[in-house]
Structure 1
Amino acid sequence: MKLREAPVPRRKITGAFPLDHVFAIGIDKLKLALLVKHMDDALVAFIEQQLSDLEKNGAKRKSVKGKAFRNCLSARAGNGYLRIEWSPNRVVYPYWLTVEFNPNPYLHAGADAVRELASFFRLLFGVDSARILSQALVLRMDINIDFNINVLEGTLVSVAEKRGGANVMRDFDGKGTLATLYVGVLGSDCRLTVYDKAAETLRRELKSTASVILAALASPKGWQLEVKKLEGKEKAVPNHWRMEVRCQRKGGCPLSQVTELASAFDGVQLFHLPPDCKPFNESLGRTFMGLARHVGIPVALQALDEHDRRSMQRAISKLEQVQWFNAEILRDFIKAAIEQLAPMFRAPARLRLPGAGQLVTMRPLPVKLLTSVPVCEPAPTLSTRAAKMGIKPAARPVQKSAQPAKRPVVRHAAPDPQELKARRDRVA
């Protein structure tokens, strides 16, 4: 009897494991800069010519932000637009060109759209596009991690060596649940934002019809129908919570060092607070929780007397940290987002003939020039080929070649001695 292996137990996907509820990781904004020290005259002339050609083919001129650059262009590439500013307007300025765009439309469209984006950069920067982009600095990168649950529900925030702790900006549901969280001040290298993306989407969709809705609500007959429509739209929007990591170091940073910006959150701790846990479910505990969400745990503890403060500190020390946030998890999220844009930063693979494995290239292969004319060997004769094959060639008659006729040689016989003596006597 054949034994079957026992099935591997699956972990139950519930709110206790928020990382199982991540349904998208993307990049909401990316701004890259090319340094002046990495540019030469030939590369500058080439890029300026390419930008001029883009403008002739439909790219639109835009006004520059501030006075850093002389030129700005908005060019369409596949599923989105890129804002390109170039030619610094200052005598001393580190950047020669900046490119700002939203990568999410390309990431949502799939790998083909990302390759199309990479092709645009190869068109703009030439065959060395991968090398040029690898030297670029990241001026800003917003990483978004999307959940289909409210990860902030039942959460307390503790920030080491920060006076105010986390700043709770707003509560969307009105039930005392932490709804918007900002960690980090404006101008810091890395900031964290957690908010209700579904509420923001609904508010943006209703913005265009706000006047019509207000007029209907003011009507004694139409307000009930309008309220039902609003409730239907609210239910149609899926539950969507977003955590954004905004990386923006002054002076920029290389792409290889972006993940290290997450170390700014090493002192940040988020604790999961069970709803039935003492003393937080008591009157004093609920008051402390409401104050801690707005001003932070350290400030809320100072509002308690000494006995209650020690009791509350012991209860907080026993709480477990949330499983969806720490500095190491943020590094993994940032790395996963960057890897989706890998085709931009590496050279494309060369094409190969199917089945043959022969290299196909559009450039001439380097061939060493010969300094002397090669001597061609004489073709093998029939007798040579027959000897190699082990066959004895048949004898053939010798054909005399036609040569010019030679003059005949007249040979004289030797004279008789007696005749010579008779001739001498007659002469005497």
Structure 2
Amino acid sequence: MSEVLGAIGAWVVPGLVVFGTAAALSTLAIWALRRRRRSPRARAAAEQERTATGSALVRLDDMIEELDLDVDLSGALYDGTAPAALRRARMTAHHVRDDAFAEFRDLGADTHPDDVRRVSRSIRTRTDVAIASIERARSEHDEWMRSHVTAASQIAAARDRCRRLRAELADPAALLAELAARWDRTEWAEAERDAATAVSALAQAERLIDEAATRASDPTRSTLPILAEAERAVREASSAARRVEERHRLITDAAGAVDGEIASARAALRHALTAREGLETAESERLGAELRNVEAEMSGLEARAHRAPAATVDGLACLRDRIDLALGDARTAAQRLRGARTALPGTLATARDAISRAQPRAARAGADARVRLAAAHRDLAAARGADNPVDALDAARRALRNAEDAVALADYDVLTKD
């Protein structure tokens, strides 16, 4: 019997040693591979992929803006008779960009480098296809124009469009004068810059149209590039004038609502102080310290509320957010619903204001700022469409945070470029 066991051992033990060693080496190899894939070098390579993808997305976003301009110009000059290729390319490119923005935003610091590379390459592939589609559509459109449109008709239509837009735009100077007469300069400083932009951009558009008219006498020179620049200047003037109008409306609305917003914020503070009484000692002390800070800041806002109503409403919205975060789960569902109903109007106004301020900055920034701005637009739309006030308030606050992040990222891009 002992001889049989000895024979078995002679065969089994070496096998166990071999297989055990192989298993250990395999485990070690897998561990080393995973570690290498998460190493600083792997993360740096993944970040390079992400950066390249961000550059491609910025290029696509800029091309979509140019394409929007081409479509508008085509519709204005040729009364919708131009080929539909531009409109189809724009629709496709918008879908590609919006989906890519959402995927790009999810590539955070905790994403595995392999996933970063895979998603980045997928985004770039789709982006390249969309860019090629835009280029083909623009080429087709240019060929159609050379065959069907004269320079004189282009210039006449552009001049008429410029005149109509000048008549449609509100007078930025008049709106600015009203703002300056009633409120602190901090309220309307950006509107002042936008008003100057609107005036200079519209004047530039008119100069460019005159230049195109001068060139039209030379059949070898195309007027389309100059007319496109003129359309771009008209768009810039229109956008800047709309921002002045939006700022005027926001400040005026805030002035009418600021007393109610203060009363609502004070009521929320009182509810929080009442809820504090039912908490454990340590939690009650923590909440009490935060509420004292909130009350001090609220008093500071009240002191200048009627000279800076928009800033006051913005500040109160942030303080309401802090109160809700400090309370956590201490409120009942009814209290949350009631609080959301009163906080929602001010938070929506603040989010709209933040998005308006972020828009021109993000347009000159990289992919991260543009992605945040796109998310802010989606969240604001979700807030407006939500049936439940709590859900709407959460979405409005996300929109506000994303817009603020977009501004910060855009400002960072400016600093790093300089």
Into which bin does the TM-score normalised by the smaller protein fall?
under 0.3
Greater Rg, structure 1 or structure 2? Answer: 1
Tell me the TM-score normalised to structure 1 length.
0.18
Tell me the TM-score normalised to structure 2 length.
0.18
Q: Which has the higher helix share?
A: 2
